[in-house]
Amino acid sequence: MGYMTINNRKVAFTDEKNVLSVIRKSGIDLPTFCYHSELSTYGACRMCVVEDERGKVFASCSEVPRDGMVIYTNTPRLQHHRKMIIELLLASHCRDCTTCHTNGTCTLQKLANQLGVSFVRFENNKPQVPIDESSDCIVIDSNKCILCGDCVRTCDEVQGVGILDFAFRGSNMKVMPAFNRIMADTDCVGCGQCRTVCPTGAITIKQNISPIWQHISEKDTRVVVQIAPAVRVAVGDKFGVPKGENSLGKLAAALRMMGFDEIYDTNFGADLTVMEESAELVERLEKGENLPLFTSCCPGWVKFCETRYPELKKHISTCRSPQQMFGAVLKEDARVNPHDGKKTVVVSIMPCTAKKAEIHRPEHFTDGEQHVDYVLTTTEVTRMIQEAGIDLSTLEPEALDMPFGIASGAAAIFGVTGGVTEAVLRRLVNDDSQQALQEISFTGVRGTDGLKEAVVTLGDREVKIAVVNGLANAGKLMDQIQSGEVYYDFVEVMACRRGCIAGGGQPLPIGPRTKKARVEGIYRVDSMAQIKLSNENPIVTTLYDGLLKGKEHKLLHNHTDAE
């Protein structure tokens, strides 16, 4: 607690952890490349430098606020300093902005413009290295890296995966996996969180746009699309729709204009997941085997568990993820129903880069046919809408198609941490009165904590639940479960902090305010939904009595082990 003087104005501070936070709170947006409030302080980019009354220049991110401090944030000396940093960064940076995937969202580009860097005196004599496109999820172009280390710290501190780190030193320093392996040869889980913090185009999403335009143009092809829960609260970002607002109807209208044939909701797939996963939980609780049951919706988590904790793999639910359940159902429908003899291509729109790898996993084929053919991230679909010359914000919302266009509120909340658990609890409690719903929402499953716990009484048994988000948190929990330190019956894991709304494929920037608005947006979708429980979704019942009859296990569960 105290006061400091920033640019001759007196500013109060309380528990801010560094001077930078105080400056930003006072309304001055000091530029940074390497500072993220959720990561450790690195102090490398030196953009946040300030000057004190004695002329000492220091990085405000790395200084603790002290009472009586006098600082200046924009003296000619600092301006010169910042401009010089940008100029030097640009000197060894690829400057083909017009053809870069992050054109328009790049922090380096933005700051060069903001600080008026109009000329670079130095030649780029850094040897060019090949672009790593080996991963299904992300593309790494080291030539665009400015060595801020954000990806390194995110991968290690937030996700506990630690695939990327600095190698070599001085002017030879590069961010790379161990032994300069290609990404496909690493244990990268594909979560794409590195991409969400990268201030340049060094880490971008693997693009799948062009084959989709091609399929749309084919007359004998039926392009079916499913839209994940977290997409609807983010897809409007680039079109000026208020952050967190549900744009599902507008997105449906845009997709129709673009030529997609049928538009469905992955929330419907999530309803199927709730049905299957709650049944699986009850069965495991009765038999008392393979507890805790781990959720399987998140492909980043599934890969993390397989590579880090292979001995815990049997705990993962055999349920396919909502995307895969829905994909399997759509392909089965295409096999059973003629659809005018057209070839069916299933596309899913996901907030997630790891979903791009999930579709190629061997267990996600039925009778040799891949369930989902392409995954587009929210960011890619935004680009497609822009390519088509459509302004999403001006469109009138349209309904989704039938027969798979109805979903419950329980499915909508899959997009945030705790949502799967809440949805399963609703199904098991099986009571959609306001009181029952509220009781479940207050058990502790909601909120943004990395690890949440809840105890729920189901029948005559107390069920212990853990909800964890961020893979580093998941890793800690797994260690505790393995050592016997803690016991749970059900564990929900989402690889990304706060769940899919902050997924690796979502539009940038994803700051704290955006995350909050998206979480609220998801819960609003649930509040507005007329059906609250997955088992009350009439289409779910119809499907179980029709297309799915006798094929529930074949279509909705993974069974590589049995085969």
Partner 1 sequence: MLDQAYYDKAQEIIEQHGVAQASLIPIIQDIQTEYRYLPPELLSFVAKQLGINEAKAYSVATFYENFSFEPKGKYIIKVCDGTACHVRRSTPILERLYSELGLSKNKATTDDMLFTLETVSCLGACGLAPVLTVNDKVYPSMTPDAATELIQELRGGEA
Based on the shown chain and the rule CB under 8 A, indicate whether residue 311 belongs to the binding site for partner 1: no
Which phi and psi (to 5°) does residue 135 adopt? -80, 150
| Set 63, 262, 276, 358: catalytic member | 358
| Set 61, 151, 155, 297: catalytic member | 297
Phi-psi region of 244 (alpha: psi -120 to 50; beta: other; left: phi over 0): left
Query: Which residue in 65, 35, 63 sits closest to 47, CA to CA?
Result: 35
Residue 286 annotated as catalytic: no
Rounded Cα distance, 524 and 518, in Å: 10
| Set 21, 317, 348, 408: catalytic member | 317
Based on the shown chain and the rule CB under 8 A, indicate whether residue 168 belongs to the binding site for partner 1: yes
Query: Which residue in 314, 392, 352, 299 sits closest to 501, CA to CA?
Result: 352
* Shortest reach from residue 152's CB to partner 1, in Å: 8
- Specify the residue, 177 or 322, whose C-beta has the smaller distance to partner 1: 177
Rounded Cα distance, 86 and 525, in Å: 43
Rounded Cα distance, 388 and 377, in Å: 17
Based on the shown chain and the rule CB under 8 A, indicate whether residue 163 belongs to the binding site for partner 1: yes
Cβ atoms of 390 and 499 within 8 Å: the answer is no
Residue 317 annotated as catalytic: yes
Cβ atoms of 258 and 390 within 8 Å: the answer is yes
Which span (94-102, 170-178, 263-271, 439-447) binds partner 1, by CB under 8 A?
A: 170-178
Residue 188 annotated as catalytic: no
**Contact track, partner 1, 112-151, x by CB under 8 A:** ----------------------------------------
* Shortest reach from residue 171's CB to partner 1, in Å: 13
- Specify the residue, 168 or 442, whose C-beta has the smaller distance to partner 1: 168
* Shortest reach from residue 184's CB to partner 1, in Å: 15
Q: Site size for partner 1, by CB under 8 A?
A: 13
* Shortest reach from residue 191's CB to partner 1, in Å: 16
Which phi and psi (to 5°) does residue 471 adopt? -70, -25
Rounded Cα distance, 515 and 500, in Å: 10
Based on the shown chain and the rule CB under 8 A, indicate whether residue 499 belongs to the binding site for partner 1: no
Of 51, 136, 156, 489, the one binding partner 1 by CB under 8 A: 156
Helices (H), 337-459: 354-358, 378-387, 409-412, 419-429, 434-441
Phi-psi region of 430 (alpha: psi -120 to 50; beta: other; left: phi over 0): left
- Which residues, listed in sequence order, are joined to residue 494 by a DSSP beta bridge? 469
* Shortest reach from residue 496's CB to partner 1, in Å: 20
Sign of the torsion formed by the C-alpha atoms of 346, 350, 352 and 353? positive
* Shortest reach from residue 174's CB to partner 1, in Å: 9
Tokens of 345: 């291509």
Of 14, 171, 179, 338, the one binding partner 1 by CB under 8 A: 179
Of 54, 56, 121, 169, the one binding partner 1 by CB under 8 A: 169
Q: Which residues bind partner 1 (CB under 8 A)?
A: 156, 162-169, 176-179
Q: Which residues belong to the active site?
A: 277, 280, 297, 317, 355, 358, 363, 500
